[in-house]
Amino acid sequence: MEALEAGSIGLERRLKNVPEALDKVFDAIIREHEQVDIGQQGHHRDFVDTLLSLINQPMNTHDEQIYTIDRESIKAIMLDMFAGASDTSSAAIEWSLSELLRHSRVMKHLQEELRSVVGMNRMVEETDLEKLPYLDMVIRESFRLHPIATFLIPHQSMKDIEINGYYIPKGTVILINSWTIG
């Protein structure tokens, strides 16, 4: 028991270093983007370049308070994007695998398709995907049953409208629960 407690103390100490390590990584990415000339031939604008182009620019000009994006805001947005991307990917994989485990017939059919198209001696490559229609169907069905995002992108009604007996006034923000659709 003492060894377990000692191990958790070491883990806690290492976890406390994670934010500092991520800060250094994001700083390095930002510095790299700042050093590259956007107009340089072959350089494609990406998300970080777009954020850097907005640094210290006034935002929300319709409000009384004006907001600006600073370097720390850019790092926070990068962390959100990184965490969101890794979390959603792992959740999608977990749900897909759990559905395959629940439906052995589907898993066997998918295994047969993978064996016949890809074989047993290599990993699936992007060029293989167009030749794997059953895999595509399994993934799409998993996404339908277990959508990653609870709500779709919010919409706003452009005018007063009645839909199926529900009155929706102009300017109402409409949220669609994707979990209930599938």
- The string of pLDDT tens digits covering residues 62-84 is 666 677 888 888 998 888 888 87
CA 106, CA 128: separation in Å to the nearest integer? 19
Rounded to 5°, the CA angle 29-35-39 comes to: 115
Q: Which of 180, 181, 95 is nearest to 138 (CA)?
A: 95
What's the rounded mean pLDDT across residues 125-146? 95
The pLDDT of residue 55 is 84
Rounded to 5 degrees, what are φ and ψ at 13? -60, -45
The pTM score is 0.55
The mean per-residue pLDDT over the stretch 135-150 comes to 91
Spatial distance between the Cα atoms of 111 and 114, rounded to a whole number of angstroms: 5
Locus of tokens 């047993």: 120
- Report which of 149, 116, 151 is spatially closest to residue 134, judged by C-alpha positions: 116
The token pair at 91 is 């959740």
What is the model's pLDDT at position 61? 61
Quote the pLDDT of residue 15.
Answer: 75
Round to whole Å and give the CA distance between 145 and 123: 27
Mean pLDDT of 164-175: 93
Amino acid at 33: H
